[in-house]
A and B are shown apart, each in its own frame.
Chain A
Amino acid sequence: MATEAQGEEGGLVFHPMDQFIVKPLFGDGPVGLFTITNVTLWMAITVVAVIALMVLGTSGRATIPGRMQSIGELAYGFIYKMVEDVAGKDAVAFFPYIMTLFMFIVFANFLGLVPMSFTTTSHFAVTVLLALLVFVTVTVVGFVKNGAAFLGLFWVSSAPLALRPVLAVIEIISYFVRPVSHSIRLAGNLMAGHAVIKVFAGFAAIAAVSPLSVVAITAMYGLEVLVSFIQAYVFTILTCVYLKDALHPSH
């Protein structure tokens, strides 16, 4: 997150979106399907971090856990309890899947906070794929487990009969808006925070404002640390909520 403002033409020039540029790590070629880019690099670091915590950290299998193992077990217990409480006991089969989503998002978010890093989860390409994965999984699971009864999700049987078609339309729309809000929430939060930090950093070029700017960056950074975790949590818990709808579609 280098300072962006340059004194060209005498005014401040902000490029808050430049930090999200995808570019090849080696050379200047076009970004193709298999090109190794900064996305690759930071996703690889995410994978390494997840492995370090969940595999290397727990390699001791200690009955009395050390620091790393404690964190790993904490994450495990946190998500396991969430799946069990929110989605129900029969959703435990999906626990590794949800755990994968959570670990990836939380590590990608936190790694994105490392200065000069690239935030993979701030890209719609990433979050839309994640949200679509959840959406498709939930829909498929819903139809496989309940058959046509899954459509009962849209037919609110507790409402008066005359209202039901209207409600069905609303329910269907809200069902299909789910992946949109699910993905945009995550990417938007991350992007907003990083862009705002960048804009504040741009103001640091003015000597009179720079102390204020540094304070503002620090405050935003603290907020972003919070947001990073909360967004991962929210993404995961919403996945659990959707999964609950798929497993128990009755309202």
Chain B
Amino acid sequence: MEGELAHIGAGLAAIGSGAAAIGVGTVAGNFLSGALRNPSAAAGQTATLFIGIAFAEALGIFSFLVALLLMFAV
């Protein structure tokens, strides 16, 4: 029974991956719209873009980690 609950929890935690996907999409989309408005400034901001994506993605990775822990470590 406990194992099944853990699996359900893992599934719920995987929702976090989707949330992270929304976050990454927001970051990339806003960067793109900004870059299209001012293409000359875009090249200098790619580093910031990747840092932003990395931070957004890290939280998704955390939820993935929680899912993995529930699946395999509990």
Q: Which residues of A contact B (CB under 8 A)?
A: 17, 82, 85-86, 181, 184-185, 188-189, 191-192, 195, 230, 233-234, 237-238, 241
Contacts of B57 in A (CB 8 A): 185, 189
Q: B51, A234: Cβ atoms under 8 Å?
A: yes
Give chain B nearest CB distance to A224 CB in angstroms.
Answer: 14
Contacts of B54 in A (CB 8 A): 185, 234, 238
Chain A at the B interface: SS class: helix
Which residue on B lies nearest to A230, using beta carbons? B50
Which B residues, 10 to 43, have Cβ-Cβ distances below 8 Å to chain A? none
Show 12 A/B contacts (Cβ-Cβ < 8 Å), sorted by A. Answer: A184-B62, A184-B65, A185-B57, A185-B61, A188-B61, A188-B62, A189-B57, A192-B64, A230-B50, A233-B50, A234-B50, A241-B51
Contacts of B64 in A (CB 8 A): 188, 192
Task: Give chain B's interface residue range (CB within 8 Å of chain A).
Answer: 10 to 19
Contacts of A238 in B (CB 8 A): 51, 54
Question: B8 in the interface, Cβ–Cβ < 8 Å?
Answer: no
The residue among B47, B53, B54 with the most chain A CB atoms within 10 A of its own CB is B54
Q: B72, A85: Cβ atoms under 8 Å?
A: no
* A188-B62, A234-B50 known, 18 other contacts, Cβ within 8 Å: A17-B72, A82-B47, A85-B47, A184-B58, A184-B61, A184-B65, A185-B54, A185-B57, A188-B61, A188-B65, A189-B57, A192-B61, A234-B51, A234-B53, A234-B54, A237-B50, A237-B51, A238-B51
